[in-house]
A = this chain, B = another copy of it.
Amino acid sequence: MSTVSLLTDKDLSPAAAAVFADIRATRKTDFVNNFWRALAHDPVLLARTWQSAKQVMAPGALDAKTKELVYIAVSVAQGCDYCVASHTAAARAKGMSEAEYMELVGVIGMAAETNRLALALQVPVDEAFQAV
């Protein structure tokens, strides 16, 4: 149960409606997921978050699919169920294969494990990794 209502299209302020229109135009689909419907209570926060997401997730030096893999990794590592579900769907929509997905899951698990080993043992950073 969300802490605010999920706004339907007819509940939107004009500023929020404009963001929804851009989401639909950018994604080429009428579907707007719940995340934006909750944020729409604050049109400034909605607009800023959407503009950032649109910019950050667009293909650049990294392609769009790779960015979604990273997004899934962060979502898992921070424990956000909603984000795991939505970005796993997004990664699949952008071409992630099931073999790629299961390998991704394996890397995330491995990284989580060695993170905790390094933290437990308080391993100091090697000079070789301090090149800057």
Contact = CB atoms under 8 A, between A and B. Distances in A.
Interface of A: 1-6, 31, 33-35, 38-39, 41-42, 44-45, 48-49, 52-53, 55-57, 60-62, 66-67, 69-89, 97-126, 128-132
Contact of A5 (B67, B97, B132): B132
Nearest to A67: B107
A131 B19 CA distance: 27
Kindly report how many copies of this chain are found in the complex they form together. Answer: 6
Given A97-B61, A106-B42, A121-B39, A111 B71 contact: yes
Given A2-B132, A79-B79, A56 B99 contact: no
Residue from A1, A82, A101, A121 whose CB has the most chain B CB atoms within 10 Å: A121
